[in-house]
Structure 1
Amino acid sequence: MSNGDYTRQPSPPTPPLPLPRNHRYSPAMVAAILLSALAMTLIVGVRYLIASGGFSLATRVRQPGLYRGQGRQIGREIGWSLASAAIYGIPAGVVAWGWQARGWTRIYEDVGRYPLWYLPVSVLLYLAAHDTWFYWTHRWMHAPRLFRIAHAVHHASRPPTAWAAMSFHPWEALTGAVVIPALLFLIPIHVGALGVVLSIMTIMGVSNHMGWEMFPRWMVRGPIGRWLITASHHQRHHEQYRCNYGLYFRVWDRLCGTDRGLGDFGRDFREKQV
C-alpha cells in the first residue's frame, strides 16, 4: 500500500447543537428588544419635536401671529404626539431588532440586489400602500362612535398647527403604527429608500397641518396639485370633516367621491384676527 492509503481523511463538520428552549427568550434578548423599542421611541419623539418645531418656527417667520392664542392647544398637541411616539416606536423598535438580529423583514442593504429603477419604485409602492391604509382607516375613524372615542382628539385642534401631526388618541395611533412595520415584511426596500419614505411621511404629516401652504401656487393649483395632497387640501378636511381623507395622494378621494377641493387659509386667519 502507498502512504496515501493511510492518510486520514478530514471528518465532516459537527452539526451545531440545538439551542436550549429557554435560549429563545433569554434575559439578554428581552433586554435587547426593550432597548431597541426604547431607542426607536426616542428617535420618533425627537424626530417629531425637530420636524414640528422647525415648521412651527417657519410659521412664525412666514405667517406671524398665525398661532396666536393657541398655546394651550399646542401643549395638548405635543402631549398626545409624544404619547403617540411611544406607540409608533415600540413596534418599530421590535422590528428593527428582528431585522438586525434575526434577519426579519425584506429590508436590504446591498444596492445591487435589485435593479436601480426599483429604488424609486419601492418608495412609490410604500407611499401608495400607506396612503391606501391611511385613507380607509381615516374614514373608519370618522364613524360616529369611533370619532367620539378616538378621532375627536385629533380634531380638537381647531385649526391644527404644525404640532398636530401626531396628536392622536392611542387607539388611532395604533392603527398608524402597524402599517410601515407590516410592509417591511411584504415589500423589499433598500434601507436608504426606507429613510426617504419615513422622511416624506414626517414632512407631509407636519406640513399638511401647519395652516399655510409651503408649496408654490402653480403647483398646488396646477395639474400636480390635482393629485398630490398639500396643506390646502387637508385644511378642507379639518373644516368639513367628512371629506379629503387621504395622506399623500388624492386618488382615493377622487375614486370614492370624497374630494372637496382646497381649504381657505385666509378665512381662518381673518377669523382669528377678529
Structure 2
Amino acid sequence: MLLPEDIFQIFLYITTASFLRYFILAGLAYLIWYIWLKKRASYKKIQLKFPKTTDYQREIAYSLLTFFIFGLVGMVLYNPTIRPYTLTYYKISDYGWSYFILSFFLTLIIHDTYFYWMHRLMHHPKLFKYFHKVHHQSTNPSPWTSFSFQPLEGLVEAGIFVIFAFVLPLHPLMIVIFLFFMTAYNVYGHLGWELLPKGANKHWLWKWLNTSVLHNQHHHYFKNNYGLYFSFWDRILRTLDERYDEEFEELKARSISKV
C-alpha cells in the first residue's frame, strides 16, 4: 500500500479510510445489537437504558471531526518531505515475517501504554473540560461513541501515529491491520454488551483484557479503568474499579426474569 504523493490526496485518502472503518465496524455493531438483537438481548445490556437519538447524532458528528484531524496529522507525517524520515518500510523482507508478526503486538503494548497515561492526564480537573468532556457526555456509550472526541483530544489521540512513525518500524500492511483492530476494539469497548463469557474477568489470561464492562464503568462512573486494550496498567497501579468483578458477574448471571 503506497500513499499518493499529493498532500491533499494523502489527507483525503486517510480521512476517507477512517470514515469507512468507523461506519462499517460501528455501523455493523449498531445494526446487530441496537436493531436486530435489541429486544431479544436488551436484558443483557450493561446499562439497561438506551442512549437517545441525539446522543448518536452528537457522537457521529464529533467522530467525523476526529477523522478530519487524523487526516491532517497523517498528511503531515506522510507527505513526501517528511515520509523518508519515518521508519515506515515497504518490503516485508527488510525485517522478515517474524518481526512483522511481532510488530502487531508491539503496536498494542505501546498504544495501550500511551493511552493509559494520556487518558489519566486528560482526567485532571484542569484539563478535562478542554480535552475529554465531550467523550464523557456519553455516560451510556454505544458503538458510535468510540471516536467521539473534541478536537484537542482528537489531536492527542493521533499522537500515537507520530510515535509509531519515528519509533517503531512498521510495514504499511501492518498499519492497516492495526487500524482495523484498534477501531474494532474501540467499538467493542463502547458496545454496551459484554461479548466475553462468564468467568472471563478472573481467567488467567482474559482478565488482563480491557472488557466492555470495564470500559462501560469508566463512562458510567467517570473514573478508574483508564486502559484501552489491556487492564494490566489499571491492575498494577490500582486504578481498576473495585466493583468490576461484582458487576461483570452480575451481568453474566442476569436473566430476563431478573430485569
TM bracket, shorter-chain basis: 0.7 to 0.9
Calculate the TM-score normalised by the size of structure 1. Answer: 0.79
Alignment of 1:176 onto 2:157: yes
* TM superposition shift of 1:50: 1.5
* TM superposition shift of 1:97: 3.1
Q: Distance in 2 between matches of 1:50 and 1:159?
A: 21
Q: Residue type matched to 1:87 in 2?
A: I
Structure number with greater Rg is 1
The question of whether the paired residues in 2 share the 8 Å contact of 1:243 and 1:258 is answered with yes
Of 139, 148, 173, which residue of structure 1 is paired with 2:120? 139
Identity of aligned residues (%): 33
Q: Residue type matched to 1:135 in 2?
A: Y
- CA RMSD, 1 decimal: 2.6
Change (3 A) 1:115 1:85: same
Alignment of 1:226 onto 2:186: no
* TM superposition shift of 1:68: 4.2
Q: Distance in 1 between matches of 2:174 and 2:206?
A: 24
Equivalence map 1:77-92=2 (5 Å) = 77-92=59-74
* TM superposition shift of 1:94: 3.0
Q: Distance in 2 between matches of 1:165 and 1:242?
A: 17
Change (3 A) 1:219 1:68: closer
Q: Distance in 1 between matches of 2:87 and 2:151?
A: 28
Q: Which residue of 1 aligns with 2:96?
A: 115
Q: Which residue of 1 aligns with 2:12?
A: 38
Segments of 5+ residues of structure 2 without an aligned counterpart are none
Q: Residue type matched to 1:204 in 2?
A: Y
Segments of 5+ residues of structure 1 without an aligned counterpart are 1-30
Alignment of 1:148 onto 2:122: no
* TM superposition shift of 1:96: 3.1
Higher RCO (CA 8 Å, separation ≥ 6 residues):
2
The question of whether the paired residues in 2 share the 8 Å contact of 1:38 and 1:90 is answered with no
The number of aligned residues is: 239
Q: Which residue of 2 aligns with 1:62?
A: 37
